């Protein structure tokens, strides 16, 4: 084999190797595209739902449904897979309720959520939730964040009973939030934003409202702690004042007793000036006090002082 033929054969082998490498890389890319990674939140445990709450720590059906929805979204499950996943986390009355519905909810996870919410929820029907949502007002001690999240919770519970209103979520929350706030000037500003910037999302609108008002001066929890501390200080002060009053009362009683004993103790030799006996004084004497003899009446014109015969010049 000549050198020229050998060179050609080497070039052909190089071209074949390059083509095989490209084919392998393309197959690897296709395989990577077909296998979609599944993200599972670390440390997040989904509780099993059995029905009514038996302990204060048990999740409500609304909280449980929200947790399951988040897991379904993270795992990308839909249709039958989503329904099977939901039923894996049911037990007791909740599982029997869903199983008893049969084909009605077998492959529809949203239908399962609706059944569980209706049977094991707080008893609020769709009209009742709508009444609460459209009449909700911000409380006197409630901040904007709590008010907005309460409206979101009410609307999401309405969606669980009537999924057809889900498309109106943002618009309904924005309009209701503008009417639910307590501050009148903020209410006018939110109405203006809803009219002029209709593309603004609900949470963007809420964030603007919070920036407009500024941070709350005192959080409700801090205010409650401060109020408790003030009440404790007042109670301590009242207790100290009561103890001081008790000590003063004891001193007054001792002083009163001393004065009484001094009044009852006779002076001098301890004899009564009326009867001459000991043990009491004249005004406390049980014996009658003798009447005083009246003074001798003076004659008209008689000098009250009789002149002395020894005085010089009087007998002249």
pLDDT for residue 144 is more than 80: yes
Confidence bin at 1 (pLDDT 50/70/90): low
pLDDT tens-place string over residues 256-291: 877 776 665 555 566 787 888 877 777 788 888 777
Tokens of 223: 């205010």
pLDDT of residue 310: 46
The structural domains of the chain, with segments of one domain joined by +, span 37-122, 124-217, 221-248
List Cα–Cα distances, 87 to 109, 157, 280, in angstroms: 9, 20, 101
Q: Sort 266 into a burial class: Cβ within 10 Å, 0-12 / 13-18 / 19+.
A: middle
SS3 49: strand
pLDDT of residue 177: 94
| CB 105 within 8 Å of CB 98 | yes
Q: What is the mean pLDDT of residues 144-168?
A: 88
pLDDT for residue 149 is more than 80: yes
Confidence bin at 228 (pLDDT 50/70/90): confident
* Mean pLDDT (the chain, rounded): 78
Distance CA 288, CA 112 (A): 107
pLDDT of residue 28: 66
List Cα–Cα distances, 294 to 203, 297, 298, 301, 305, in angstroms: 109, 8, 12, 20, 18
Neighbours of 290 (CB within 10 A): 7
pLDDT for residue 311 is more than 50: no
pLDDT of residue 215: 61
- Cβ contacts of residue 166 below 8 Å, gap of 6+? 159
Q: What is the mean pLDDT of residues 179-199?
A: 91
């Amino acid at each position: 084999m000549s050198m020229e033929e050998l060179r050609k054969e080497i070039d052909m082998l190089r071209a074949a190797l390059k083509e095989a490498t490209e084919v392998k890389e393309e197959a690897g890319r296709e395989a990577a595209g077909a296998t979609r990674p599944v993200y599972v939140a670390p440390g997040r445990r989904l509780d099993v739902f059995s029905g009514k709450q038996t302990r204060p720590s048990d999740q409500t059906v609304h909280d449980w449904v929200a947790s399951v929805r988040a897991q379904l979204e993270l795992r990308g499950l839909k249709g039958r897979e989503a329904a099977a996943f939901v039923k894996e986390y049911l037990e007791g009355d909740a599982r029997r309720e869903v199983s008893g519905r049969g084909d009605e909810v077998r492959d529809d996870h949203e239908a399962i959520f609706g059944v569980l919410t209706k049977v094991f929820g707080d008893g609020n029907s769709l009209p009742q939730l709508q009444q609460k949502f459209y009449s909700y007002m911000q409380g006197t001690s409630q901040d904007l964040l709590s008010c907005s999240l309460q409206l979101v919770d009410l609307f999401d519970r309405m969606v669980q009973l009537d999924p057809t209103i889900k498309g109106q979520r943002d618009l309904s929350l924005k309009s209701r939030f503008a009417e639910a706030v307590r501050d009148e000037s903020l209410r006018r500003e939110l109405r203006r934003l809803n009219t002029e910037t209709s593309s603004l999302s609900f949470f963007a609108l809420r964030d603007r409202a919070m920036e407009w008002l500024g941070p709350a001066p005192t959080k409700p929890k801090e205010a409650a702690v401060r109020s408790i501390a003030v009440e404790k200080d007042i109670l301590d002060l009242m207790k100290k004042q009561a103890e001081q009053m008790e000590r003063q009362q004891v001193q007054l009683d001792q002083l009163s007793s001393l004065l009484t004993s001094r009044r009852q103790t006779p002076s001098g030799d301890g004899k009564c000036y009326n009867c001459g006996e000991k043990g009491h004084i004249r005004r406390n004497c049980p014996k009658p006090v003798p009447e005083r003899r009246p003074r001798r009446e003076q004659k008209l014109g008689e000098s009250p002082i009789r002149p002395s015969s020894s005085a010089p010049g009087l007998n002249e």
